[in-house]
Structure 1
Amino acid sequence: MSSSDIFLGETIGTAVLILLGGGVCAAVTLKSSKARGAGWLAITFGWGFAVMTAVYMTASLSGAHLNPAVTIGIAIKDGEWGDVPVYVAGQMLGAMIGAALVWVAYYGQFRAHLTDESIISTPHEEGMVDQKAAPAAGPVLGVFSTGPEIRNTWQNLATEIIGTVVLVLAVLTQGLNDSGKGLGVIGALITAFVVVSIGLSLGGPTGYAINPARDLGPRIVHALLPLPNKGGSDWSYAWIPVAGPLIGGAIAAGIYNIAFA
């Protein structure tokens, strides 16, 4: 596959991933959304289906990594790093596009939510997604990026590492296509269910970023968007959902090379 195919596939796929994944967070969180309060099950299955949709849509173009941790894991497994910057660039751009599209789709709900005095004057709003215990976070940051329920740096980092090890090891052992460069047809379905499982089992402490682009790209968009009363983007926490998944992806590749290769 060419560099242009990789960049285009990763941009489109990650945009769809964040549009649908961020969209379910918006649906559950925002005032005047028909799905408000639907809960954690809706979010975990929404993200799982988002992964499945995005992978099936773009696997033929780029292999549908859609996640720098997956890209790093495959690069370590194969020892081939030439296309890594192209993958990551497409993933970051796609994540930002997807987050911006969530804002467009829920524009009225964002405005209603962020102009409601009962919401913007309450630090820990009932029903918030991902950001209940984040003093540096605004009232809708959980729609865009993750945050911990309890702020403990080593625990938050460890949780992201552990979740990503499970994801990337599942991709490497069960999900790759015949070329070994991306997800296959059955692998896409397996990976979607793995994402749901991680969300249900390990998502509670941090909101399970398990993908640096998924967290950093939308967090940048949150910082840039003209949202009234949006509050902070919690940059003091932002390194954890980037570093944790990258470390987890590398560990998963190491385990694969030792135990499965």
Structure 2
Amino acid sequence: MSSSDIFIGEFIGTAVLILLGGGVCAAVTFKRSKAYQAGWVAIAFGWGMAVLTGAYISAGVSGAHLNPAVTIGLAVEGGAEWGDVPLYIVSQMAGAMLGATLVWAVYYGQFHAHLNDREIVGGPGAQDTAVADRKEAAGPGPVLGIFSTAPEIRNSAQNITTEIVATAVLVLAILTQGLNNDGKGLGPLGVLITAFVVVSIGLSLGGPTGYAINPARDLGPRTVHALLPLPNKGSSDWAYAWVPVAGPLIGGALAGGIYNIAFA
């Protein structure tokens, strides 16, 4: 597998993953969307099908890691070369940022209607501005959930534990399915099974933190949120951003170690 294969497969696959995953979050969030308030089940299945699509697109090219935690888990297990890990992660981050930007482009009108809605961001005037400033200081802005995750209860120990456990389940499921012939990624059936595992994680373990289970999925779009010229967008919640990066990386490495001890 060449460096160009890794970059192209991971970049395009992760971009599609985030486009469809962020897209379902946008569809459920915006009042001017036909899927408004469709709920958590729609989000869980939307993300599962996003994984399915992105992975099928890239599996034959790069192995469809699409997730630094998966790459780390495969490296610990021995199915990926440590020397390829930086390229995988850079490609995944770049793809995630493109995918998040495409979500903004597709829902451009909804973003601006939502962020100019007085019921959401308040009306004009000094008092409203002060309220908006306090909201920004207190937590994530009104559309940040389209781009990245946030906990329902802010407790760093619990939040990072949730991400470690959920990601370990994901990566262990990937490793125990059996990799393709070159050992670097999943075959077609494995991709399908992984998509359903992601749905299961979302429904069962996603409630506390929104189940990032993928550092690129959270950090790339969060960066795009910070950079986009959106009115009244509020905070990007950088104080929390380390949790959905560190937790999944630890969970991926832990899963690789468990696999080597228990299943190899």
User: For the superposition of Structure 1 and Structure 2, which TM-score range results when normalised by the shorter chain?
Assistant: over 0.9
Matching residue's letter, 1:45: F
Question: Which residues in structure 2 correspond to 1:15-94 (within 5 Å)?
Answer: 15-78=15-78, 80-94=81-95
**Would you say the 8 A contact 1:175–1:190 is kept in 2?**
no
Matching residue's letter, 1:145: S
Q: Distance in 2 between matches of 1:223 and 1:136?
A: 14
**Would you say the 8 A contact 1:175–1:186 is kept in 2?**
no
After TM superposition, which residue ranges in structure 1, 4 or more long, deviate above 3 angstroms? none
Relative to structure 1, the CA distance from residue 175 to residue 44 in structure 2 (aligned partners, 3 Å threshold; closer, same or farther) is: farther
| Residues 1:173 and 2:194 are matched in the alignment | no
Partner in structure 1 of residue 110 of structure 2 = 109
Q: Distance in 2 between matches of 1:222 and 1:194?
A: 28
Q: 1:195 aligns with which of 185, 192, 198?
A: 198
Matching residue's letter, 2:116: T
Unmatched segments (≥5 aa) in structure 2: 124-134
Q: Distance in 2 between matches of 1:135 and 1:104?
A: 28
SS of residue paired to 1:83: helix
Q: Which has the greater radius of gyration?
A: 2
Residue by residue over 1:122-164, the C-alpha shift from the partner in whole angstroms, topping out at 9 and shown as x without a partner, is: 9xxxxxxxxx9x9321000000000000101100000000000
**Would you say the 8 A contact 1:13–1:57 is kept in 2?**
yes
CA shift, 1:82, in A, is 1.1
Identity of aligned residues (%): 76
| Residues 1:247 and 2:259 are matched in the alignment | no
SS of residue paired to 1:146: coil
| Residues 1:221 and 2:224 are matched in the alignment | yes
Matching residue's letter, 1:141: L
Relative to the length of structure 2, the TM-score reads 0.93
**Would you say the 8 A contact 1:175–1:188 is kept in 2?**
no
SS of residue paired to 1:176: coil
**Would you say the 8 A contact 1:175–1:191 is kept in 2?**
no
Residue by residue over 1:38-57, the C-alpha shift from the partner in whole angstroms, topping out at 9 and shown as x without a partner, is: 00000000000000001111
Q: Distance in 2 between matches of 1:80 and 1:100?
A: 30
RMSD: 1.4
CA shift, 1:228, in A, is 0.4
Relative to the length of structure 1, the TM-score reads 0.94
Q: Going by fraction, where is helix more abundant, 1 or 2?
A: 2
